[in-house]
Amino acid sequence: MEKRIVVIGAGISGLATAYWLEKSGFEVALLEAKGEPGGAMETQIEDGFLIDFGPNSGLETTPLISQLAEEVGIKDEMIYANEEGSNRYILKNNSLLALPTSPMAFFRSKLFSLPAKLRLMQEPFIGKSEDGYYQSISEFVTRRLGREFLDYAIDPFVSGVFAGDPNKLSVKSAFPKLYRLEELYGGLIMGMIKGAKERKKRNEQSKQNAKMFSFKNGMQTFPAAIANKLKGKIHYHSSVNEIIKTDYGYKIVYTQNGERAEIDTPRILSTIPSHTLSNKIKSIDSKLSAHLAEIFYPKVMVMFLGFNKSSIGQKLDGFGYLIPTKENKNFLGAIWSSTIFNNRTADDKASFTIFIGGAKSSNPLSENNDTIIREVISEFKKTMRISEEPLMVKTKLWDKAIPQYNLGYIEHEKYFEQFELNNPGFYLSGNYRGGISVGDCVKNSEVTAKRIIES
């Protein structure tokens, strides 16, 4: 078969896979609906503020990230989080309490009551569970660590990663490494101790210690640099409408700058969101279409705020804060963007990125919802003890932000494999498969590229 492939979607998943395929001798054509690369990785620089509307950072969980950055010529633009960005705060009773990072700090912390601390000590004596795929992260954590730990540690963490609902996310699908600690070692505390010993023997680093990275000019630098290497292969303003199976392979019908166009290909890799792909492959497999449509993506509004540093009463010595659902506030948390990385603003300014909405929210978010915007700013100013109005307010509404690996997700995963077996040359990828983080998308892109090359 000719070494030809059409990749759909120029987010990090599509670009990284296309890059590795091209490098191994494939003739690649990439179709992207928008006029620029990056998908969820979107950066703007305005009035001296650097704004990341998608991920503000990534975790360097794989050496592939810096290898790829090196190959596309931006290794020297890669930056790492400042030491002072390492504290993480949780909002409790309107106060910011640091998340404890050592056993000693945990016992001293005001974040948890004494009964909650004692309950945690029972964890090593709690047995294994049966089925992680159909167990919510909420059930898992309550059983192992107690209700208060769920409410004041895991619930805000789940908001920070997935903007998700802990009662609905499957522990094994959404947090496979956490579930594996129970599966392999019988418990979380035992798993952490034994895991650390084994890593030490193998001279490896824990995933929790992975370094937080970005780029001098923001996260979009990464996809933009990969796209630069694929110059001439990427067709922007090219939105795929339908994919049809043919004797040759597949026919892709798309709209390019408003005109209908078609392309025949022996191989196709889709990296577009599942809900978008769903109605484009109905004629090939209506069951796959239904599986893809079932994956829920909640709305998330990202609000960027810039202030004069002198007007901020709160000490800026952390990554930011997350808000437990129990605290009943109108947003999920705030990243202290200019504390984490240098050069996000002028030295006398500070910037923050706030996340509103998510899977548990009943807030009817819309693009210019002034009431919500005003309420969130007022609440944020109170917590951070800010005396002036923001110099910069920018919002972006992600109508379908992040795929939720909810209970039953495993059935989707199994069907994706079945679909690929039934339709040789058709590959499914993107952040609804194999992890949502930038690091996971890069790792999965390499796996997908290898699968395609080897087939």
Ligand X SMILES: Cc1cc2nc3c(=O)[nH]c(=O)nc-3n(C[C@H](O)[C@H](O)[C@H](O)COP(=O)(O)OP(=O)(O)OC[C@H]3O[C@@H](n4cnc5c(N)ncnc54)[C@H](O)[C@@H]3O)c2cc1C
CB of 175 to ligand X, least distance (A): 14
When asked if residue 438 is in the footprint of ligand X (CB under 6 A), the reply is: yes
Which residues 169-198 are close enough to bind ligand X by CB under 6 A?
Answer: none
* Chosen residue from 3, 4, 34, 194 binding ligand X by CB under 6 A: 34
Q: What own/partner pairs with CB < 8 Å and gap ≥ 24 does 97-104 have?
A: 98/318, 99/153
- Interface stretch with ligand X, choices 150-158, 205-213, 385-393, 436-444 (CB under 6 A): 436-444
One of 398, 405, 426, 427 touching ligand X (CB under 6 A): 398
CB of 109 or CB of 369, closer to ligand X = 369
Question: Which residues from 292-311 bind ligand X, rule CB under 6 A?
Answer: 300, 302
Q: Does 32 bind ligand X (CB under 6 A)?
A: yes
Residues 6+ apart with CB under 8 A from 380: 305, 331, 334, 352, 354, 386
Q: H/E element holding 202?
A: helix 188-202
Residues 229-258 that bind ligand X (CB under 6 A): 239-240
The neighbour count for residue 350, using CB atoms within 10 Å, is 26
- Least CB distance from residue 440 to ligand X, whole Å? 8
Residue 45: CB partners within 8 Å, gap ≥ 6?
Answer: 51, 217, 218
Q: Out of 377, 401, 428, 449, which residue is the one contacting ligand X (CB under 6 A)?
A: 401
- Bridge partner residues of 255 (DSSP): 239, 260
Burial 51-86 (b: 16+ CB within 10 A, else e): bbbbbbbbbbbbebbeebbeebebeeebbebeeebe
Q: Is 442 in the site for ligand X (CB under 6 A)?
A: no
**With binding defined as CB under 6 A, does residue 270 bind ligand X?**
no
Report the DSSP beta bridge partners of residue 241.
Answer: none
CB of 144 within 8 A of CB of 110?
no
Q: Which of 5, 6, 9, 351 binds ligand X (CB under 6 A)?
A: 9
Nearest approach in angstroms of CB 136 to ligand X is 21
Q: Binding ligand X by CB under 6 A: which of 5, 6, 7, 8?
A: 8
Site for ligand X, residues 37 to 56, rule: CB under 6 A: 39-41, 54-56
Count the site residues for ligand X by CB under 6 A: 36
CB 56 within 8 A of CB 218: no
Does residue 222 touch ligand X according to CB under 6 A?
Answer: no
For position 430 contacting ligand X by CB under 6 A, the verdict is yes
Closest contact distance (angstroms) between CB of 254 and ligand X is 7
Nearest partner of 423 among 273, 209, 270, judged by Cα: 270
Mark residues 53-82: x for contact with ligand X by CB under 6 A, - for none. Answer: -xxxxx------------------------
SS3 450: helix
Backbone angles phi, psi at 262, to 5 degrees: -140, 155
Burial string for 182-217 (b: 16+ CB within 10 Å, else e) reads beebbbbbebeeebeeeeeeeeeeeeeeeebbbbee
Is residue 333 a contact point for ligand X (CB under 6 A)?
Answer: no
* Residue 271 interacts with ligand X (CB under 6 A): yes or no: yes
Tell me which residue has tokens 């000019």.
217
Binding flag, residue 33, ligand X (CB under 6 A): yes
Residue 191 or 278 with smaller CB distance to ligand X: 278
> Within 10 A of 90 (CB to CB), how many other CB atoms are there?
23
Binding site for ligand X (CB under 6 A): 8-14, 31-34, 39-41, 54-58, 239-240, 271-273, 276, 300, 302, 398, 401-402, 430-431, 436-438, 441
